[in-house]
Amino acid sequence: MNLLPFLKELAKETIRDCTFTKEVTLKSGLTRINLLLPSGDEKYKSFWVRDAAMMAESLLVDSANLKQYIELIATCGQNGREILYLDNGLKVPPYAVADHINYNGRPVFFPGTMNDGTDQGIGKYGFYPPFCDNFYFVIMVGAYVRQTGNRQLLHQVYKEIPLINRLEYAVQSYNIHPETQLCFSEEDYFTVDWGFVDAVKKSGFLAFASLLRYRAYMVLSELNPEQKMIYTKQATQIQSSLMNLLYDREAGLFYSATGIGHQHDVWATAYALCIGALKDERAAKSLTALYEKGVVTTLGSYVRHVIKTEDGSDTCTWESTFLRYNSYQNGGYWATPIGWYARALYNYNPTIGEAFLQAFIDHTDAHRGEGAPYEWLHPETGVTDGHRYGTSGVLPYVAFMDLI
């Protein structure tokens, strides 16, 4: 595909733009680290685990820097053996991975705050840390091993625990349904499924978090071949449960959750197709139809979370969120899923997939001086936010890497 050279260069440029030299407090003292932040405008002034892991999948992040990120998480960003009880009923389960790590080396387990003490919120962003960072920690290490071929790091001991065991504890996670192996959230004492909807309340079984858990087990099966059969079995169970409990076969789309948030999830469907957890051609056909109808995408192929005709209400995209309508995760159009969506379209119809990507490239070129690619935008309000955003510029390349 002739668009790949541009996507690779954009990914490299974005990673450079998002890399900042910071003094970070580690066990060894104050250390200067080239930290990969979520955006080139430093909108988020901390080290976010998932954003760095998602960009690391490009295999373009400097391997020495990536190793430092892994060590930062293992030593500063993963809870210990005991439950950590915070203010206002918030709990951090054993071996949970932080949402972000401040430059002082202290973990923040919950979104929406930079406080790294006992006050990390009132439950507005959930009562347990988001699921996703546990799985992205595994995915980040998988990217490092693929990039360097160095498996010795897996046996490196951090705080008396080898890295491979830390990954196993992370993927086991919390609030996992024992029979289905799916991530779940209670209605009153809820858990955010992943960071790109961390201001949204959902309940029941969760699609995106479970897809990330599936992916993490598949990565573990590569990292630890001796346990490959066990990990693959877990992944297969998750995949089967997702299809049985969250996939709408008639529509060819995943539901985001089985309780609150029981709405078709555009991102989850595209991601599932991209990672091979979903192989139903009806899903690619549905995403193509939605694209052609113009009910999920806008300028430059930026993608909404929910189909515009399936909003939870006249003022809310999701069934439950505190965000203002047509902003951020409540009706904003995002670039993070562009690569997943484009790959789904491409596999179904290469011409349509390339046209989708070309629209993103053209928009990025036209607005590069204004900060594109953005984190999100909205065509009606004219808002653009998160300039030179990391996952926006890197994930389109990640989705098509295997074609090189």
pTM exceeds cut of 0.85: yes
The full set of domain ranges for the chain reads 4-403
**Torsional sign, CA 126, 131, 132, 138:** positive
402 sits in which H/E element: none
d(CA 88, CA 121): 7
d(CA 307, CA 294): 9
Helix intervals (H) in 34-180: 49-56, 63-76, 132-148, 163-172
Give bridge partners of residue 157 from the DSSP assignment. 162
User: According to the model, what pLDDT value does residue 30 have?
Assistant: 83
377's CB contacts (< 8 A; 6+ apart) are 298, 299, 300, 302, 332, 333, 383, 384, 385
Given the DSSP bridges, would you call strands 253-254 and 247-248 parallel, antiparallel or unpaired? antiparallel
How far is CA 377 from each of CA 17, 54, 363, rounded to the nearest angstrom? 20, 20, 12
User: According to the model, what pLDDT value does residue 26 have?
Assistant: 79
User: According to the model, what pLDDT value does residue 339 have?
Assistant: 98
47 sits in which H/E element: strand 47-48
**Tokens 């091993």 -> residue:** 145
User: According to the model, what pLDDT value does residue 2 have?
Assistant: 86
**Whole-angstrom distance between the N-terminal and C-terminal Cα of the chain?**
8
Which structure tokens are listed for 392?
């926006």
User: According to the model, what pLDDT value does residue 278 have?
Assistant: 98
Q: How many residues does the chain have?
A: 404
Residue 76's Cβ-side half-sphere holds a number of Cα atoms within 13 Å equal to 25
Per-position pLDDT tens, the chain of length 404: 789 999 999 999 999 999 999 999 877 778 899 999 999 999 999 999 999 999 999 999 999 999 999 999 999 999 999 999 999 999 999 999 999 999 999 999 999 999 999 999 999 999 999 999 999 999 999 999 999 999 999 999 999 999 999 999 999 999 999 999 999 999 999 999 999 999 999 999 999 999 999 999 999 999 999 999 999 999 999 999 999 999 999 999 999 999 999 999 999 999 999 999 999 999 999 999 999 999 999 998 999 999 999 999 999 999 999 999 999 999 999 999 999 999 999 999 999 999 999 999 999 999 999 999 999 999 999 999 999 999 999 999 999 999 87
User: According to the model, what pLDDT value does residue 404 have?
Assistant: 73
DSSP three-state, residue 91: strand
Residue 249 amino acid letter: R
Q: Which CATH architecture has domain 4-403?
A: Alpha/alpha barrel (1.50)
